[in-house]
Chain A
Amino acid sequence: MSVLLTADQAAFLQGPVSMNVGAVGRDGWPCVCRAQGVLVARDRRALTVLLSSARGHAVLDALDAGNGISTVFSRPATHATLQLKASGATRTPLSAAHRAVNTRYAAMLGAELGTLGYSETLVAGLIEMLTSDDLVALRLTPEIIFDQTPGPAAGRVLARA
């Protein structure tokens, strides 16, 4: 079973957010990696998250082992944060659409950070880092969504399958 994302949640995930993916390695040690774009399925019940295979080596290995996945999305300007979890994720072939998502995402996050006072050089470096050519696409169907915005309400379940 998967949860149905609201239209607002889908828009939020595909907006100028900082995104990270966590998993638990074969040795039981948690690992985390920055993601480089996300595509929400038309039915809003699945996501495709993009990772760099080099930067996400440990997370990808953990997911290949069939372990669970956590994805967290946070908007730098507002700190609004969502966490979505699933019992696993599977690799899916990288498409031209995924590459377009990645390019658009890097530009969007760069622009957001630019408005927050980060220098042009730094933003350019970030965009370059996020548009790596070793992308891997991971498909997951979220089973639970948490509000993770900092504060005493962080951790509130917004939807559960």
Chain B
Amino acid sequence: MKPTLESLRACLDGAVPSVVATCSPDGTPNVAYASQVHYVDAEHVALSFQFFSKTRENVLAHPYAEVQVIEPGSFRHYRLKVRYLRTETAGPLFEYMKAQLAGIAAQSGMDKVFVLRGADLYQVVDIVDVDPHLPPAPQPPDALLRLRRTLDQLGACDDLARLADRALAALTPGFGIHHALLTLLDETGGTLYTLASLGYSASGVGAEVALGEGLIGVAAREKIAVRINYRTGDYTYQAALRGGDPTAPRIPLPLLGNPHSQIAVPLLHGERLLGVLYAESEQDAFFNHTDEDALVIYGRHLAALIAQFAALSDDAEPGPAAPEPCVSGVPLAVRYFAHDHSVFIDNDYLIKGVAGSILWTLLNEHATCGRHDFCNRELRRDPRLALPDFGDNLETRLILLQRRLADRCPAIALEKTGRGRFHLRLDRPLALEAR
């Protein structure tokens, strides 16, 4: 029985180099090593186009080639008879291969010479199993079982904050993942911000990633899962780069300094991107293609749950006001910069953007009216905030704010008192100053 292309995906991860045979118009054969043979779908592979090589010259003139791939765990060889179709120089396939090539290049010490110019797309017309007598590679862990275990661990979550934490925590018993981030797309659609993290010394909550930059940004912009199997020194494939003004206040991402394996999976609800789930490991080839499949499903599941929370209606009014203890001590100096809605507490950066704006509004309400209890609904109607329509955005911004305060300024706390209701707890007096 002929092997299917799907059954050869382990051969297409770049672990063992593949070779490609082509032929020039005068019938001269050429054999070259292919840095990357990428699985596209059940009938297509793509080869990386890095240099104007003889292979490329040949297939442009005579589009028939044979690619020999090797199963890493068994050294079984397979030959793919392929026909060149076209070259893609932008879009999801190109971006995925570019990211993955960075990993392959670094693994083979070729960081400086491997630059992707295009993804050459080939139709696979036949597959030959060269070594049918050799034993197959050991089976990788069952990704479906891993996914099921992860979902069992995730269980039922009754609010978004718990979901964010459990979504990451469940990856440890499920997939053996110990380092992960959950990032969500902000209201501008141009930046992702970290809502939760797993396994780092600092939480990194609030840290931002620009769309299209780094592995997380590419996964978000292209709405594709991107997996790198080997350590890459290519800075553009660090999990994230931060665009914009380098002098602006920032929260650092708490990533591993030298990850050997990385995966970024979009959180897609229908066609709508809600964020990116990112995981990394210090082991080479930690995530295989079946893990990628399973994590893509997990990403869709999480996105559906996030969207479901967003669709729940808020309680109508703030909760009843409870008596507040008098606070004393040296006032906290809270400074607000209107141009980017950033908030500093005792000169330390806390938060900016929508979350900064919400905090400033709450603190002012408290200062002028003595209020401690608030509800989401009034924030949505507040003209000072100009919130977008997406309900989940407000809720996630409140979680972000709550976590940043817990990280950086426990004297100010937001405590949930019901669906869409929360209480502002202050342990120190405040001195508010707007600039």
Residues of A that sit less than 8 Å from B by CB: 18, 20-24, 28-34, 55, 67-72, 74, 79, 81, 83, 85, 122, 125-126, 129, 148, 150-152, 154-155
| B23 lies within 8 A of A85 (CB) | no
A-B contact pairs, 20 of them (CB 8 A): A20-B31, A22-B21, A22-B31, A24-B23, A30-B30, A30-B65, A33-B68, A55-B77, A72-B19, A72-B31, A72-B32, A79-B109, A81-B33, A122-B73, A125-B135, A129-B134, A150-B33, A150-B35, A150-B113, A155-B53
Taking CB atoms and an 8 Å cut-off, the chain B residues in 396-428 that contact chain A are: none
> Within the complex, which residue of B17, B33, B113, B134 is in contact with A148, where a contact is CB–CB below 8 Å?
B33
> Within the complex, which residue of A32, A68, A122, A129 is in contact with B66, where a contact is CB–CB below 8 Å?
A32
Closest to B32 in A: A148
Residues of B with C-beta under 8 A to A71: 31
| A31 lies within 8 A of B74 (CB) | no
Q: Total interface residues on B, using CB and 8 Å?
A: 37
A18 to B79, CA, bound (A): 17
Taking CB atoms and an 8 Å cut-off, the chain B residues in 68-99 that contact chain A are: 68, 73-75, 77, 79, 81
Shortest Cβ-Cβ A-B pairs, 10 listed: A22-B31, A32-B21, A22-B21, A30-B21, A151-B113, A22-B29, A70-B29, A72-B31, A30-B23, A24-B23
Given A30-B22, A71-B31, A125-B66 contact (CB < 8 Å): no
Residues of B with C-beta under 8 A to A79: 108-110
| B74 lies within 8 A of A74 (CB) | no
| B130 lies within 8 A of A21 (CB) | no
Residues of B that sit less than 8 Å from A by CB: 17, 19-23, 27-33, 35, 51, 53-54, 62, 64-66, 68, 73-75, 77, 79, 81, 108-110, 113-114, 130-131, 134-135
| A30 lies within 8 A of B113 (CB) | no
| A83 lies within 8 A of B75 (CB) | no
Residues of A with C-beta under 8 A to B75: 122, 125-126, 129
| B51 lies within 8 A of A34 (CB) | no
| B66 lies within 8 A of A31 (CB) | yes
Q: How many A-B residue pairs have CB under 8 A?
A: 108
| B33 lies within 8 A of A30 (CB) | no
| A70 lies within 8 A of B108 (CB) | no
A21 to B66, CA, bound (A): 12
Given A28-B64, A31-B79, A85-B29 contact (CB < 8 Å): yes
Q: Nearest-CB distance from A1 to chain B (Å)?
A: 16
| A67 lies within 8 A of B27 (CB) | yes
Closest to A18 in B: B17
Residues of B with C-beta under 8 A to A32: 19-21, 31, 66, 68, 79
Residues of B with C-beta under 8 A to A126: 75
| A150 lies within 8 A of B21 (CB) | no
A31 to B68, CA, bound (A): 9
Closest to B74 in A: A125
Residues of B with C-beta under 8 A to A55: 77, 130-131
> Within the complex, which residue of A30, A74, A154 is in contact with B51, where a contact is CB–CB below 8 Å?
A154
Residues of B with C-beta under 8 A to A20: 19, 31, 68
| A29 lies within 8 A of B79 (CB) | no
| A29 lies within 8 A of B19 (CB) | no
Residues of A with C-beta under 8 A to B135: 125
Closest to A83 in B: B31
A79 to B27, CA, bound (A): 27
